[in-house]
Amino acid sequence: MKIEDVRKTATSMPLTSPSYPPGPYRFFDREYFIITYRTDPAALEKVVPEPLKITEPLVKYEFIRMPDSTGFGDYTETGQVIPVTFNGKAGGYVHSMYLDDDAPIAGGREIWGFPKKLAKPKIAVESDVLVASLYYGSVLCASGTMGYKHRKADHDAVLKSMLTPSYLVKIIPHVDGTTRICELVEYYLEEVTLKEAWTGPAALGLFPHAIADVAKLPVLEVVSALHCKADLTLGLGTVVHDYMKD
């Protein structure tokens, strides 16, 4: 393989058999189950990096079902997003993510810097309850429930919230183990078609685990819950802060 062929081929690893195709990536019938809860402000201060600023001691615990996506296929994901501001602009800091598919783990980490780990999340409807869970191996780390489609949510408010920016810390080590890239990345969801949105009573339990440490942002009070479906494109990112140059 010639040097120029390497340059043309090298879109993702491995070189001759990429883990995922080039983006952007479109999602169809992406299903969200989001429980917003109040947590310990001191715990948030320990995990939210500057120059992001915490607005309120809130966390959005998200379970996301993705049955049909270009390049990444069919998978389920869960994690925590913390409401923040960056230069006065409201958005969400993606703190943790756990999912069950290699391609979006590799692509998410390498392209944007999503904090993805391999685990076993699940979303299902059981009679009149929406039920979701996160298992890391055989251990239950998170359990969420919500009354199924009790009340319609405000469509415009939900769509507006989906169009706000999200933030990630992208970390790539050097071959000697030192940090080569450490950047704050901003990205948006694009071409969003919100199909339905519901709210209702909800409960969330987070349980201690050495590796899947979602319980380090404890649940003090459930504030609200949202269940919605949408088609959307995951926009590619922009570097808004370089920690290696600051």
Residue indicated by tokens 């230069």: 87
Q: E-assigned strands of the chain?
A: 25-38, 53-54, 58-69, 73-86, 89-99, 116-118, 120-126, 129-136, 139-147, 151-152, 166-173, 179-187, 189-199, 202-206, 221-234, 238-242
- Residue range 111-121: mean pLDDT, rounded: 97
The answer to whether the CB of 2 falls within 8 A of the CB of 10 is no
Output Rg (C-alpha) for the chain, integer angstroms.
18
Q: What is the mean pLDDT of the chain?
A: 97
Is the pLDDT confidence value at 197 over 90? yes
* Pairwise CA distance, residues 152 & 43, whole Å: 33
Is the pLDDT confidence value at 215 over 70? yes
**Which one, of 25, 4, 1, 22, lies nearest residue 12 by Cα?**
22
Q: What is the pLDDT of residues 129-186, one digit of tens each?
A: 999 999 999 999 999 999 999 999 999 999 999 999 999 999 999 999 999 999 999 9
- Give me the residues paired with residue 182 across strands: 171
Q: Which percentage of the chain shows pLDDT scores above 70?
A: 100
Q: List residues with catalytic annotation.
A: 116
Q: Which amino acid is at 229?
A: K
Residue 9 vs residue 44, higher pLDDT: 44
* Pairwise CA distance, residues 220 & 15, whole Å: 47
Alpha helices by DSSP H, listed for the chain, are: 3-9, 41-47, 102-107, 155-162
Backbone angles phi, psi at 230, to 5 degrees: -155, 155
pLDDT of residue 222: 98
* Pairwise CA distance, residues 178 & 30, whole Å: 37
**Which one, of 137, 105, 136, lies nearest residue 213 by Cα?**
136
Low-confidence winner among 8-17, 136-145, 203-212 (lowest mean pLDDT):
8-17
**Which one, of 184, 26, 173, 19, lies nearest residue 113 by Cα?**
184
pLDDT category, 11, cuts 50, 70, 90? confident
Q: What is the pLDDT of residues 58-89, one digit of tens each?
A: 999 999 999 999 999 999 999 999 999 999 99
pLDDT of residue 26: 98
Low-confidence winner among 2-11, 46-55, 124-133, 137-146 (lowest mean pLDDT):
2-11
- Residue range 119-131: mean pLDDT, rounded: 98
Q: Which amino acid is at 101?
A: D
Look up the pTM and report it. 0.95
Q: Is 222 helix (H, G, I), strand (E, B) or coil?
A: strand
Which overall architecture, per CATH, does domain 26-242 show? Beta Barrel (2.40)
pLDDT of residue 246: 66
